[in-house]
Amino acid sequence: MNTSITIALPKGRLADKTIEILEKCGLNCDSLKKDTRKLVLTDASDKFKFIFVKPIDVPTYIERGAADIGIAGKDTLLEADADVYEVANLGFGDCKMCVAGFKKRTYNVTSGNLRVATKYENIAKHYYESIGVNVDIIKLNGSVELGPIVGLSDVIVDIVESGKTLKANGLSVLEEICELTARLIVNKISLKLKAQIICPLIKKITEVLDI
Ligand code: PRP
């Protein structure tokens, strides 16, 4: 029986809080706090292997079984629509998925060509379908706020956390699509085959977070 599990950790905004929680669960995360370019690290007991991945890729690693358990933002889960178990809403990393743009400008949404720049093509597509607006979605990989500024798009669909990036670029929230938080996700087969490790870990995480 395989008694080690691989945990996919998101780089970036969710990383520090995730490591803090794992430590509170009793995992030795010293290796994760070292300044290293290594992408695969283990805890002292070798029971847990950690991989650092781009947040948007966490669902892919879990769905395909390259990692057993992971922490992902709800934004990435909605976007990826991966076949994984979402076992807990971790409550941290809260932000909102929003439509943003220049506040005083009006957009003729009935003309059927609202240009939307976003990293989240699927979320944007589903949102505008749900409100019956035809859009031209422009996929970007970052710095999407530039879209309206340079005239690439009319609006953006993006996550807003502190609101500082929008403010610094003269943009405002025009519509709120949904609230987002970090989620704990598990590979469907791993949950059966490695239940003796994964289930206590899920329980511990929910206890630590009091959820
Ligand atoms: C995210 C998001 C916004 C910003 C929002 O980008 O796409 O640009 O953070 O955060 P705020 O409301 O706290 O300012 P990220 O930092 O992931 O960088 P990116 O633009 O390169 O994707």
193 Cα: distance to centroid of ligand 1 (angstroms)? 37
CA terminus-to-terminus distance, the chain = 31
Could you tell which of 159, 171, 172 is best to mutate to test the pocket of ligand 1, judged by most ligand atoms within 8 Å of the CB? 159
Structure tokens at 90: 């971790």
Structure tokens at 111: 């003309």
The pLDDT value given to residue 1: 55
110 neighbors 131 (Cβ within 8 angstroms):
no
The pLDDT value given to residue 79: 96
The pLDDT value given to residue 145: 98
30 CB contacts (<8 Å, ≥6 apart)?
44
Could you tell which of 140, 146, 165 is best to mutate to test the pocket of ligand 1, judged by most ligand atoms within 8 Å of the CB? 165
For ligand 1, which residues put their CB under 6 angstroms from it?
Answer: 142-145, 158-165
184 neighbors 88 (Cβ within 8 angstroms):
yes
CA 158 to ligand 1: nearest atom? 7
Structure tokens at 25: 């669960």
Scored b (16 or more CB within 10 A) or e, 65-101 reads eebbbbbbbbbbbbbbebebbebbebeebebbbbbbb
Per-residue pLDDT of the chain (211 residues; tens, 9 = 90+): 557 899 999 999 999 999 999 999 999 888 888 888 888 998 878 889 999 999 999 999 999 999 999 999 999 999 999 999 999 999 999 999 999 999 977 665 555 689 999 999 999 999 999 999 999 999 999 999 999 999 999 999 999 999 999 999 999 999 999 999 999 999 999 999 999 999 999 999 999 998 8
